[in-house]
Structure 1
Amino acid sequence: MGYRNKTYVIFDGDNDMWAYAYMKGWKKNENIEFDFHDAHELNTITNLSGEENTKRKLRERLSTAKQAVVLIGESTKNLYRFVRWEIEMCHSLGLPIVAVNLNKKRRYDPDLCPPILRNADAVHVSFNAKIIKHALDDFCGNYGKFKGASDNWYYKSGVYEGLGL
């Protein structure tokens, strides 16, 4: 099951920390079936860390991950220093990516998606614990079937309906 693997979460730390906090809350909530092994728990990065030191620590976190979640908010596509770099690292490591639209769109959103994720073998889902968990299990767990097709994958409405969404 994909959610049992270490998951690296990429997000806009200035504007979308709330979404990452929700994910951590879902994980702790006994009434929500959602779990992931957070690669961010590996080491601490402070605001005093320089860019190279920060990237070194992020690289350590990424090296332990088996999959990535990119939380896509209003400004994510404009972030190059770390967000783009983290996505590039995921590509170079061959990690499957679940692109999560914080605006609740259920497929690729050309207005908000970072250009590096366009046609990049990522599955695009809405921000909801059930569909994210499903994507971690299904897409990431079967990534070999999708890898190399260079597409913007998404789940049809029937999958959402089957999950009660």
Structure 2
Amino acid sequence: MLVNILIVVSGVAFLFYGSSFFLNSGMKEEFERYGLDKFRGLVGVLQLLGGLGLLLGLVWNPILVIASGGLALLMLIGFVIRVKMKDSFLQSMPSFIFMLVNGYICFCTLFSNEQIPSIFTTFRTRTEETVAIRSIFTNPAIIISAQIISSDLTYAPGLKGTIVGSD
């Protein structure tokens, strides 16, 4: 649940911050100060794509790995540039925090024994027929509390056999 919250917060922040690269004249001045003005558009596009990738990653985990890993790398580069420019730690903190957050998301997605629950949750019956159940919420407790017709359904592999119905 924490990872899903971090994904949404980071995704929305990067969509907002990425769009500011094209709308805010202060961003242009910052990149001119670093001598990196020619990369401003690229960084803005990468942040927009990363933010969108994080949100789409709630549905499809492979894009979550790419987006969170890419944003963590982008923020690492941003942090190093700010340190080299002798900016204060307070000025450098956003890139440092987003580097950690997206690194954590990437790590959890790659190395967790469980898949991050997505908007599309799959259940299997004993006959291995797959039934896709859509849910607006990713919280397994909400999905479990939904009335499911068959009583012999179990959670899909990756979510460690939580029983939905009883025999």
Which has more strand, going by share of residues? 1
Could you tell me the TM-score, scaled by structure 1's length?
A: 0.26
Could you tell me the TM-score, scaled by structure 2's length?
A: 0.26
Higher RCO, Cα 8 Å, sep 6+: 1
Give 1 or 2 for the bigger CA radius of gyration: 2
Which has more helix, going by share of residues? 2
